[in-house]
Structure formats: C-alpha cells, structure tokens
A and B are shown apart, each in its own frame.
Chain A
C-alpha cells in the first residue's frame, strides 16, 4: 500500500470525484432516457432549482445539506406530480413558476443564515472535487438502490411511457409507476447536484440520453449507451479540469455536449 500510497494521496480527491461522478452518470443515463421520452426535461430542471432551498433549510435546521435537499426535492416532486394542472395554466408554466420561486426563496434563506457562509458557487455549479469518502459511499449506495428500483419498474414504466391509458387497461398501475419514477428522479437530482451543481443537473439527465438516440435500436440500448456516455463525459470533464484548471462541473457538461454534437453528426450521415 505504502509504495503507491503517495501517488494515491496526491490524486485522492480526483479518484473520489471520478467514483462519485461515474456513479451519478450511470444512474442519470437510464433515468434521463425516460425524461427525454416523456418530455420531462423542464420537470427535472424545476426539481433541481428547488434544491438550493433544501440546502438553505438544511443549514437552518442544522442537518446535513443533502438531507435538506432530499427532503425538499422529494416533496416538490410529489406536489408537482399531484398537480396535473392549475386552472388555466399549463404544467410547463407552472414548473417555471415553481423553479424560480424556489430558487429565489433558497437564495433569500441562504443570505439570512447567521454565522454560516454557504458556498453558493459550489452548490450552483457543483463541487465534485470536494466530495469525501463518506459522500462517495453514500452516492454508490443510493445508486444501487435507485438502479434496483428502476430495473423492477422498467417494463411498467416503459409501457406507461408509450401510452398511459393502454398500459392502465392492460393492468399496469400507472399512477403508482409515475409517482415512483418521480421519486427516483428527485433522488438522482439530489445526487447529481453534488457533481455538476443545481444549474446543470438537467444536462446530466438529458444530454447523454439524447446524444446516443441515433445509435440505439432499443430502449435498453439507449439507456445503457446514455450511462456510458455520461461516464465518458465525467472522465473527460475531470481530466480537462485537472489539465487546464477549469471548473469540473461545467467541464463535464461541456464534454457531454461535445458527444451530443458527435451523435447528431452520426445521425445526419445515416
């Protein structure tokens, strides 16, 4: 251990960042595919914007920020899931209102906290290089649970995505499936926030999935390729961050975007 412990120690923060980032990418790929298929990109964005409120409330109450984030994001997911429509407003508009109201409220609560200085940049754009071993362990544990649930739910979720009424008539409990999906999505948003930050969470969900659309012939292939693309983006982004001293979160998203452009080029050629 000792003879290569030095090397490990030097880059331990990078190893932890890689482990955490890849874990999030692996689960964001398949869930992101559903977000794309169900046209819920804005839903994911709204959820992530509420996360800052969770961080601030976490500090206010005196619990871990991630606990505050999980609580707020999951609650908002359940409320939004229940609200199909408010009189005269589309869900799209409603999501926009919720997202920015929550972000503003989060910033206000954060500014009033006494004796605590919240690293706003870290929360808004991610602070993956700061994750500790406990965070890595927690993220991997969550990922395994979420992937397990998603695997269990897969067939019903896919069926409901194709046609909700048809699935319901054929015996799928569509309501329950939708709620569980939104809960899983909320958990992934809370986890991805640590990697790329609140403002870039949606990109981890939708960019890898849409990048591989043209290469996929089955839903499962698209989900798996999205996970792979996410992992490559995390590795490339961290590598660029290390090499050129750029922020890691935006580096990861930029790498994913490059892969997306590559995917589009493949599509236009075939």
Chain B
C-alpha cells in the first residue's frame, strides 16, 4: 500500500474567469486514508478548487498531479433531474457503473450506504437524505481511490447529517480511500477531519483542525463564537483581511506559518 505518495496533488493553482481571479495559490495534497476538508464562505472558490481536482476545470496557473490510474468517485453538490425524465434509483446507479458490472453490485453498494430500500423508486421521489446516499453509492460503484464530495450533507436534517458523516468516516476506514470534502459544518469538520483547508479566494490557513480553528483568519471568517467553541490552542497571527476579503498585510511585512499562503 502506497500510503505516503499523494493520490492527488494540487500545486500553486490560480484560476481566473475573464481576467478575474477567483482562486490563487491553492495547494492541496490528499493521501490514501486521509480526509481533507475545504471550508470557507460562499464564493471562496471551494467548488472551483473541487472542479480543478476533478479535471473539469483547467487551472490558469499551476499543476494538478494525479496518481497514474487514479479512480475518482464524485458526489456533486446538487442533482436536479427534470421531472419529465423517468428514471429509477437502480437505473441511475447503473448509468454510472462501469459497463459489464455485476447487476447485484448496485443493490450491495446501496445497502452499504443504508439506502437499500429506495432501489426501485423514481429518483425524483426520494428524500434529501436518501438522495445524498444514492449519490454516494454511485461514487462508490467505481471502486474509487479518491472520493470527492461537494457538500455531502446538503439538504439533510441534523440527525441525518451526523449519520452521513459517520458513514463517510466508515467508508474511509473500510475502503482506505482518500476523501476530499467541501463542508459548512464546522463542528463535524473539526471532529472528523485530518486536514482542513480554509479558503477565501486563497488558502487562508491549512493544517490540523485544532490549529486552524484558532487561526486569526479563520476567526475573522467565521466569527469569534464559532471559533471559541472550536478553539483548542493559540496560533500565531500572520495576515489580515480587509472587509471585501482582500489580503491586508501589515506594513512591516509578515511571516507565514507552515501551510499558510495567500495571493
């Protein structure tokens, strides 16, 4: 098992749309068995970074290196199938499975994510929580090395959210996959993640959850209430944001901590 070599490595990536830079200097490394979580406010570039990792978006600057033969299971943020398209959960899963896959695999994987009972139902008729499980099942059917989950608990009630996170945690353990996850749920992120990357158009801070939660930029983004409930120990301040999110460096210059970058 090649656990030290990264499954995927994003290095110094900038993304611009029509000359407007939406992401700069992003670095991400995901290894097998590791959960990396991307957090940050709306418009921070989380989904942009995910799309770069998936190969859906070419970075303007920088490189993305995937392990040769890397299989990615992707769970999109939202699936809206037109009500006019008649499609059952089973058919939806088969659509994403490699061809020639044994028929029972869909049922098995759906069972694994705890949604075995919806297999014959139309996709438009299942609940938010069931939908997320079905999407997760589709990602797992490809026997992925890397799972990319864009807001996996969106539209799910609180108890359902906790269950889903436990499920993801279990999948990481049993299947020994790398996981990249976009999330808003800071408490759970802090409890279950190995590595947090806090984005606000650049990487504000990155590292172990306990370190990130007291980082001044993190506190600035999410407020002192959130930060204090998550805080574990103090961390050295290195740069600030103006109100519009731009980096404001102290006039006498500043020093970066490890894994901390901005554009």
Contacts and interface: CB of A to CB of B under 8 A. Distances in A.
Interface of A: 36-39, 155, 158-159, 161-163, 165-166, 168-170, 209-210, 213, 216-219, 221-222
A37 B85 contact: yes
Contacts of B261: none
B87 A219 contact: yes
Contacts of B122: 217
A244 to B, nearest CB: 33
B170 interface: no
B56 A162 contact: no
10 contacts: A36-B84, A39-B82, A163-B76, A166-B74, A166-B96, A166-B138, A168-B56, A217-B122, A218-B86, A218-B87
B210 interface: no
B79 interface: yes
The interface centre, meaning the residue of B74, B79, B95, B122 with most chain A CB atoms within 10 A of its CB, is B95
Contact of B84 (A158, A168, A213): A213
Contact of A163 (B54, B79, B88): B79
Interface of B: 51, 54-56, 72, 74, 76, 79, 81-82, 84-88, 91-92, 95-96, 122, 138, 142
A161 B87 CA distance: 12
Given A159-B96, A165-B76, A169-B56, A219 B85 contact: yes
Most buried by B among A36, A158, A165, A209: A165
B79 A217 contact: no
Contacts of A221: 86
Given A165-B74, A213-B86, 14 more contacts: A37-B82, A37-B84, A155-B95, A163-B76, A166-B74, A166-B79, A166-B96, A169-B54, A169-B56, A170-B74, A170-B96, A216-B86, A219-B86, A219-B91
Contacts of B96: 159, 166, 170
A212 to B, nearest CB: 10
Contacts of A36: 82, 84
A154 to B, nearest CB: 11
A165 B56 contact: yes
A93 B138 CA distance: 36
B171 to A, nearest CB: 18
B74 A169 contact: yes
A166 B76 contact: yes
A210 B55 CA distance: 36
A165 B74 CA distance: 9
B125 to A, nearest CB: 12
